[in-house]
Each structure stands twice: as C-alpha cells, then as structure tokens.
Structure 1
Amino acid sequence: MPVYSIFGLNIESDIQLPAITSEGTDIQITIRQQAIDNQLFNNELIKSSQPSNNNPYIPVSYQQNNELWFCVENIASFYVGYGNLILYQPEEGAEQQDILLYLLGTCLGIIMHQRGSLVLHANAIQVEDGCIIFMGKSGQGKSTLAAGFLQAGCSILTDDLTVINHNMQVEPAIPQLKLWDDSIKRLGIKQENGKRINLHQTKFNFSLSTGFCKQALPIRAIYELNVHQENTFKFERIFGMKKFIPLRCHTYRKFYLAGLGLTKQHLKLCANLAAQVNITRLSRPAKPFMLNEMIQAIKQDLAQQFVA
C-alpha cells in the first residue's frame, strides 16, 4: 500500500490520500478497508447518547483509551484503535470523497488524541521561523484568513485540524485548503481549480502545489477568532487560567475524549500549551469581511507581542 506523510508520521493506506507520499518504511498508522463489527471490542460496550449537533455520529462505542467505533449513515462505519489503526467499511453506494472526509478528519483527529497529541480545530500558517494558529468555531473565517496569508506570501501548515506535538510544535498536515464558495469569490480564486468536498456542500478542496510548509514549526502565537457588531478589530490578550478555556473549547472532536478516557491527558496538554504561548481573542466586524485589513492588524499585533 502507498505510504503518506501526515503530522510527521508515516501512514500506510489502501485508499488514495491527497497527501505527500513518504519514502519511510517505519509505518506508524495503517488505514484499510475491512468489515467492522462488535467483536473488535473485548469488553462491555459503552454507548454514546443520541445524535446531537455536537455529536452527529451514532452509534458510538468505546473501550478504555484504545478503541472507538462510529457509524455515519449512508457513508461508512469506522474503527480507530490503539493510535495506529483505522478501519473503514463503506455503505453500499457511498462516495469515496465522503469516506475520505471522515478518514482525514474525525478518524485522524481521534488517532492523534490516542497518540497523546493536542489536537485543535484550527488552521496554522508559517510566519518567519515559527507559526501562528487561528482557532474558532465554523464560520469565523479560519480558512479564509489562512488563504489570505497564503496570497500574501505565507505558507500553510494545517487546515481545520491542527496537531501539536510534545515539543510544542505544529506538525504539517495535508497540502490542501478547504473554502466555502463565498470565500472563493472574496479571494478571487477560480472555483474550477478546486474539488467539491462532497455532493451536499458548496465547499471546495484546493490542493497546494506551492505554499505548503513540510516541517514542524514552533508556535509563536494563537488567535481565537470571533465576530462582533463593532466596525473595528479588537485584540484581547487572555491571561492565567482563562487561557485554558479557548483551548478546551476548540479541541478537535472533544466530545469523544471522556469516553476514550483521555480527559486527564487533555487537561495536562492544554495547561502545558497555555503556560508557554500567548493567546489572543481577535474580534472582527461581522460585515464586511475586511480580509486585507485583518491581516495587517494581526501583523501589527504580532510585532507588538515580540518587541524586544
């Protein structure tokens, strides 16, 4: 099977991934198609609650820290185990791009949690010899902002799913950027250069042949993106224990951590990061989306943070 480099790991997969191929022979994670049933769990299953906006996948089962199984209707069943194995069993008629959406999102996010990394719902871009992270809820402008920095000459490190290693560095993800159609128009990008992520959303994947950083980088700063009704940009530095709150809030697929027994580990990882990196809440005007002005405001804020 082909081997890919994602998050600093060699991943062997029987389904083609939009990732950089690796020459490595030491395989850390395997992705393969296989029939999935409850026999993968040796102990009593712990079922999740009914579907909600935060947890749309049902049913979900856990066993200690090691295994998770979830099912997405009309797409596939997925199994993530021991930080090194992802299995998928497609439903009849499922589209490959839908399966990839969950393999490269939820499944990889869970497996990186299992491997002891801090995983954020965030984008990261290279700035000089380090990187800055933009985290926030969907619709706050993370990918649009990252694309704006890309057009300004910066490189993308991660999109949507950001993995922070034990050295407080962000690991390079997949050379792509996902953008909604309104962001594509705002950025002046040709929509035909992207690939629709699935048949149900007007969101497109753009491969990055250039402008992708392939090495892990230390974190210079973190911004939590927010929208307000004022007509100015507002930067609010977060201090002390309050820094923990946005890290917890924007943890990727955090609703799985308790069932996996990873809550204690996650709290420690958040505390370590909060102690070492500046976190700033950045509120922007709701309309219009002043992208270029926002980029300049962030550059000025960064300069003030690191003034000698």
Structure 2
Amino acid sequence: MKKFSYLVYGLKILSDIECSELVALDELQEHEYDVLIEVHPVSSEIHERIEDGWYSSYRHESMWFHIPEIATYWMQDRNLISIELCHGADLPMAKQYLLGSCLGMIMLQRNMIAIHGGTIVFDGKGVIFTGDRGAGKSTITSALRLKGYPFVADDVSSVEVGQCHFIHPGFPQQKLCQDAMHQFGYQLD
C-alpha cells in the first residue's frame, strides 16, 4: 500500500490515507515519522466492547472510539492511529474524525494541547487569538498578517508543553467570511 507523508501540529505523519488538507513532505522512511496512521483492524477486545454497547474508552496510553457506519479509531502509545473502516464507509467523513479527534488524542498522549484559535508571531513569540465561532479570530489574524506579522495558523494550533513551550500550526488554510474578504480586498471570483 502506498504511504503518504505529512507535517501537521509539528508532527511528521506517515499515513495509509491520503490527506490533501495537510502539508505534504518528501517521502518519510519507516524510522522518520512521529505518528503512523494505518488502515488496520483494531483489537478483538475493542470489538467485544463495541458488541457490549461501548462506543469509546480513554486511557492515556490507549484511546479508541467507534462511529457507527464510519470507522473504529484506536490511538496508541503516542505514535499510532489504527483505523478500521466500516463496510461502505464515507471516506471524507472518516477523514474528518481522523484529522480532528484522532490527532487531538495523539496530541494529548504527547502532552500537547490543541487550541482553537488563530495564531501569529508578535515580537518573536506566538500569540493565539481564541473566541467563540464567528467572533473574528480569522479576521484578526488576517488583518495582522496583512500588516506584516508572520502567520502561523488560522483554526487550530498545538502547544507543546515542556522546558520551553512551542506553538505548531495545524492546517495551512485560512477561513474568512465574505464580509472580511471584501474588507481586505480579496477577489471572490
């Protein structure tokens, strides 16, 4: 099976699933990745739990959840995501859970925090603007980017907690409402 290599949240990803939403890397070797995403059956223990009516289990080293008619996802040991797709599953929907919940759980296992907000660099430090949906996070980061402040991320950033804290970007795209796009002079053709 062909493997795809990506960078997101500061993590090098080697994946069985193509994710055009992510920044592509040159082909990673087996020993070069931080996280492996594989399409692979989950454990029989997880299947037994699902048959008993469970839909999830969360322990620091092993987290799993089941979305009926889509997939079962199993995150292990800070570096492995196993996905067992249901027969006839909608792959774009399965990818939404992979790129959202699964990567979020891997970040938790790695002592990283995912923050929903726009991020820029100000005076050599990362600044994350958070707020409710529609509060103007993307508009603020876009305005600051146009004023010359380096843009890091629009929607989600991860904060790596340790001796020094680092902010890593999520997806390389920016979401703006039409009003803000007109205000900044973007062509909407």
Q: How far off its partner does 1:93 sit?
A: 5.1
* Structure 2, unaligned runs of 5 or more: none
Structure that is richer in helix per residue: 1
SS of match in other structure, 1:69: strand
| Cα separation, 1, equivalents of 2:80 and 2:35 | 6
Q: How far off its partner does 1:125 sit?
A: 1.1
Of 5, 29, 33, the residue aligned with 1:27 is 33
Letter of the 2:186 counterpart: I
TM-score by length of 2: 0.75
Deviations 1:137-179 (A, max 9, x none): 2222222222222233333212322211221121233322234
* Structure 1, unaligned runs of 5 or more: 49-58, 193-308
Distance 1:12 1:191, change over 3 A: farther
Of 160, 166, 171, the residue aligned with 1:169 is 166
Q: How far off its partner does 1:66 sit?
A: 1.8
Distance 1:178 1:34, change over 3 A: farther
Q: How far off its partner does 1:184 sit?
A: 4.1
Matched, 1:158 2:164: no
Deviations 1:209-245 (A, max 9, x none): xxxxxxxxxxxxxxxxxxxxxxxxxxxxxxxxxxxxx
Distance 1:122 1:39, change over 3 A: same
| Cα separation, 2, equivalents of 1:191 and 1:78 | 38
Contact 2:129 2:137 in 1 (8 A): yes
In structure 2, the residue matched to 1:123 is 118
| Cα separation, 1, equivalents of 2:66 and 2:47 | 15
In structure 1, the residue matched to 2:95 is 100
> Root-mean-square deviation (CA), in Å?
3.2
TM-score by length of 1: 0.49
Matched, 1:132 2:127: yes
Over the matched positions of the two proteins, sequence identity in percent amounts to: 27
Answer with 1 or 2: which has the greater Rg. 1
Aligned length: 179
Letter of the 1:16 counterpart: E
| Cα separation, 2, equivalents of 1:146 and 1:11 | 27
In structure 1, the residue matched to 2:45 is 39
Letter of the 2:6 counterpart: Y
| Cα separation, 2, equivalents of 1:105 and 1:76 | 14
Contact 2:55 2:67 in 1 (8 A): no
Letter of the 2:90 counterpart: A
Contact 2:158 2:168 in 1 (8 A): yes
Distance 1:90 1:180, change over 3 A: farther
Q: How far off its partner does 1:115 sit?
A: 0.7
Contact 1:5 1:22 in 2 (8 A): no
Of 71, 75, 80, the residue aligned with 1:76 is 71
| Cα separation, 2, equivalents of 1:93 and 1:177 | 28
4+ residue runs of structure 1 moved beyond 6 angstroms?
Answer: none
SS of match in other structure, 1:177: coil
